[in-house]
A and B are shown apart, each in its own frame.
Chain A
């Protein structure tokens, strides 16, 4: 199977609103696909459909050729997810949270290995054994990254992962994504950050009112052109 992530005529209708309209999309291993769009354009809906958190109204989402809606548990072995705001068990330490999620994914790491993942994600060593209740948003986000990396998933689903990160952390995050992509992980990322999209993305999709209106190859444009194009779509 060539495509790791695929959507065929994917639709999601809420009671009074069509959130996603006929999405067709194919993503290969190693690709970084950035999805741009305003709030409410349908970016998160798309990610939730790939995660199986939402049931499609019609059409289907596939991961590694498996239809998500009918393989809810199986597909999650292949994907990792970092939400916009990573929330963890506040009474457990960062280390314990990582250990929990990793072992649920089937990976039993030693304490040293877990520590390495956390450090690699940029979490200060002293914080790892403190309770998450006292973490800042950025620190939780780093634990979320560690959870995703430690899962060695073939697909990474990201819902505005850099919102609220400081420039340095954001930059480190981009480096990390490029590294993962180089090792063959497909990355699907919803974001508002046009410049970073241009920087890391192999392809950029623009979404408006539930419709994927354009897909551009990152090589075709520079960042300023991309912004102009994006704003054009938004003002129509």
Chain B
């Protein structure tokens, strides 16, 4: 144990004296801090934008009050008045932005048919989203493995190449102790940095303290250990530094780039979601056909779903708002199945990826981070669901005015329901993901020990 401490101490002295390694560590630290800053500003900006939406709604109401100083038909309000369904970011979202920059975090809704409004997108710069987010999750998932590789690719080979191994081994210590000391020193350094960055990020974001702190830190530890396991396994093959560097970088490339890209292709083929374009075409056709169908037929179809309004007055004349909104809603009803299939298809994609991510630990870990931060596809689908329900409640709010032909007054604006939804974590995905990471870690270490024991140590 004493020798172990001595070895660690000299690892530290060596590290301290190596300018390259110091720069590498400093760069990693700075990248981590920038990642935290970036993720946080992005979420702060989203929060500000969401806060501004309430003002836009207020403006819209003021404008309508001006336009209709007295009582007005609710149908006019439903047509000109827009509110927002909003997806508040979780307090963790800044740590792992996930798909929050690609998917809209609010949906502008009017009383018109839902399906033509649900998929509108936010202004996004495609080049920026293609390049991806430089958040803490990116630093941990992509850059930390590179940091670990940079620290460990010549774990053992450097001793051979600089010729110190014979002298070192002529002392009363074994090779396993030397390798262990080197690994432990590097693990302490990397974990120290990774955990420090995670804690800074949590404090900065002001996360709600719950089980996720333990889960996040646990995943970070396991993920770093996984990469150290790979570095250990490669070191155990006892090749030269150049071979180790190329092999480790190759593994990194395979796990973080090639396998995910191939999985993406596989998922797209295996689980296509072609209904989107059909859905959008179909709902337009349904809604606009509403104008040309006999009104009574439209209303009958509507009453079949909402019998409570059957006894209201019959539609006369060319136009009535309640008829207009009825056929708009029937447009939604007509594509209900397609919409369900579309969202179901997306969810199935997510589940397929969830099953396949055993093939790449980085994909799995990114998935866990996004699940913890509530920023992945399921969180967005939950928001879409919530937005649909909000649209339902809007309709239910307006129907009494429309069908009982009650005039809409200025006081009624306040009674209109407002929407709020916060993305939550998906702890089940996180738990099952962690189990998989743990298994991967055990697997690589067993493999590494196997390599080390099979291969005879060649000192020179």
Binding site for B on A (CB under 8 A): 48, 51-55, 72-77, 79-81, 83, 85-92, 96, 100-101, 103-106, 131, 144, 147, 157
Q: Total interface residues on B, using CB and 8 Å?
A: 24
Q: Are A101 and B456 in contact (CB under 8 A)?
A: no
**Chain A hits for B10, CB < 8 A:** 89, 92, 96, 100
14 contacts between A and B (CB under 8 A): A53-B457, A72-B174, A73-B173, A76-B169, A79-B170, A86-B163, A86-B167, A88-B164, A92-B14, A92-B17, A100-B6, A104-B172, A144-B167, A147-B167
Q: Is residue B171 contacting chain A, with contact meaning CB distance below 8 A?
A: yes
Main SS at interface, chain B: loop
- Interface contacts beyond A51-B166, A83-B163, A91-B18: sample of 10 additional A-B pairs, CB < 8 Å, sorted by A: A48-B460, A72-B174, A76-B170, A76-B172, A81-B166, A86-B167, A89-B164, A90-B162, A104-B7, A147-B167
Contacting residues of chain B (400-449) with chain A, CB-CB under 8 angstroms: none
- CB nearest to B16 among chain A residues: A91
- CB nearest to B158 among chain A residues: A89
In the bound complex, what is the Cα–Cα distance between A92 and B168 (angstroms)? Answer: 14
Q: Are A77 and B460 in contact (CB under 8 A)?
A: no
In the bound complex, what is the Cα–Cα distance between A53 and B169 (angstroms)? Answer: 8
- CB nearest to A159 among chain B residues: B166
Q: Are A85 and B163 in contact (CB under 8 A)?
A: yes
**Chain A hits for B456, CB < 8 A:** 55
Number of interchain pairs (Cβ within 8 Å)? 79
Q: Is residue B59 contacting chain A, with contact meaning CB distance below 8 A?
A: no
Q: Are B171 and A104 in contact (CB under 8 A)?
A: yes
Q: Are B169 and A104 in contact (CB under 8 A)?
A: no
Q: Are B6 and A89 in contact (CB under 8 A)?
A: no
With A53-B169, A73-B174 already in contact, the answer to whether A103 and B6 are too (CB < 8 A) is yes
- CB nearest to A103 among chain B residues: B6
Q: Is residue B27 contacting chain A, with contact meaning CB distance below 8 A?
A: no
In the bound complex, what is the Cα–Cα distance between A48 and B166 (angstroms)? Answer: 9
Q: Is residue B3 contacting chain A, with contact meaning CB distance below 8 A?
A: yes
Q: Are A74 and B166 in contact (CB under 8 A)?
A: no
What string of 1s and 0s marks CB contacts (under 8 Å) between B1-25 and chain A?
0010011001001100110000000
Q: Is residue B459 contacting chain A, with contact meaning CB distance below 8 A?
A: yes
With A48-B459, A91-B18 already in contact, the answer to whether A106 and B172 are too (CB < 8 A) is yes
**Chain B hits for A83, CB < 8 A:** 163, 166-167
**Chain A hits for B164, CB < 8 A:** 87-89
- CB nearest to A151 among chain B residues: B171
In the bound complex, what is the Cα–Cα distance between A100 and B6 (angstroms)? Answer: 7
Q: Are A105 and B167 in contact (CB under 8 A)?
A: no
**Chain B hits for A55, CB < 8 A:** 456
Contacting residues of chain B (196-243) with chain A, CB-CB under 8 angstroms: none
With A81-B167, A104-B3, A104-B6 already in contact, the answer to whether A92 and B174 are too (CB < 8 A) is no
CB distance from B176 to the nearest CB of A (A): 10
CB distance from A38 to the nearest CB of B (A): 19
- CB nearest to B6 among chain A residues: A103
With A53-B459, A53-B460, A92-B13 already in contact, the answer to whether A101 and B167 are too (CB < 8 A) is yes
CB distance from A164 to the nearest CB of B (A): 14
**Chain B hits for A157, CB < 8 A:** 170
In the bound complex, what is the Cα–Cα distance between A101 and B3 (angstroms)? Answer: 10
**Chain B hits for A106, CB < 8 A:** 172
In the bound complex, what is the Cα–Cα distance between A131 and B14 (angstroms)? Answer: 11
Nearest 9 CB-CB pairs, A to B?
Answer: A87-B163, A91-B17, A81-B170, A76-B172, A53-B459, A104-B171, A77-B172, A100-B10, A103-B6
- CB nearest to A99 among chain B residues: B10
**Chain B hits for A80, CB < 8 A:** 170
Contacting residues of chain B (378-416) with chain A, CB-CB under 8 angstroms: none
Q: Are A74 and B17 in contact (CB under 8 A)?
A: no
What string of 1s and 0s marks CB contacts (under 8 Å) between B147-174 and chain A?
0000000000000001110111111111
Q: Are A74 and B172 in contact (CB under 8 A)?
A: yes
In the bound complex, what is the Cα–Cα distance between A106 and B168 (angstroms)? Answer: 13
With A81-B166, A87-B162 already in contact, the answer to whether A105 and B17 are too (CB < 8 A) is no
In the bound complex, what is the Cα–Cα distance between A81 and B459 (angstroms)? Answer: 14
Cβ contact of A76, chosen from B162, B171, B459, B460, cutoff 8 A: B171
With A92-B10, A103-B6, A104-B7 already in contact, the answer to whether A51 and B169 are too (CB < 8 A) is yes
- CB nearest to A79 among chain B residues: B170
In the bound complex, what is the Cα–Cα distance between A77 and B167 (angstroms)? Answer: 13
In the bound complex, what is the Cα–Cα distance between A57 and B10 (angstroms)? Answer: 35
- CB nearest to A44 among chain B residues: B460
**Chain A hits for B13, CB < 8 A:** 91-92, 96, 100
CB distance from A227 to the nearest CB of B (A): 30
What string of 1s and 0s marks CB contacts (under 8 Å) between B162-196 and chain A?
11101111111110000000000000000000000
In the bound complex, what is the Cα–Cα distance between A77 and B171 (angstroms)? Answer: 7
In the bound complex, what is the Cα–Cα distance between A51 and B459 (angstroms)? Answer: 10
**Chain A hits for B14, CB < 8 A:** 89, 91-92
- CB nearest to B173 among chain A residues: A104
- CB nearest to B178 among chain A residues: A104
In the bound complex, what is the Cα–Cα distance between A77 and B168 (angstroms)? Answer: 12
In the bound complex, what is the Cα–Cα distance between A169 and B174 (angstroms)? Answer: 33
Q: Are B167 and A73 in contact (CB under 8 A)?
A: no
**Chain B hits for A48, CB < 8 A:** 459-460
**Chain B hits for A87, CB < 8 A:** 162-164, 167
CB distance from B311 to the nearest CB of A (A): 91
**Chain A hits for B173, CB < 8 A:** 73, 76, 104
- Counting chain B CB atoms within 10 Å of each CB, the highest count among A55, A88, A104 belongs to A104
With A53-B460, A131-B17 already in contact, the answer to whether A105 and B166 are too (CB < 8 A) is no
Contacting residues of chain B (82-114) with chain A, CB-CB under 8 angstroms: none
In the bound complex, what is the Cα–Cα distance between A91 and B19 (angstroms)? Answer: 9
In the bound complex, what is the Cα–Cα distance between A144 and B18 (angstroms)? Answer: 22
- Counting chain A CB atoms within 10 Å of each CB, the highest count among B17, B163, B171 belongs to B171
Q: Are B460 and A105 in contact (CB under 8 A)?
A: no
**Chain B hits for A104, CB < 8 A:** 3, 6-7, 168, 171-173
- CB nearest to A54 among chain B residues: B459
**Chain A hits for B457, CB < 8 A:** 53
CB distance from A155 to the nearest CB of B (A): 11
Cβ contact of B167, chosen from A54, A88, A90, A92, cutoff 8 A: A88
Q: Are A51 and B170 in contact (CB under 8 A)?
A: yes
In the bound complex, what is the Cα–Cα distance between A143 and B226 (angstroms)? Answer: 39
- CB nearest to B174 among chain A residues: A73
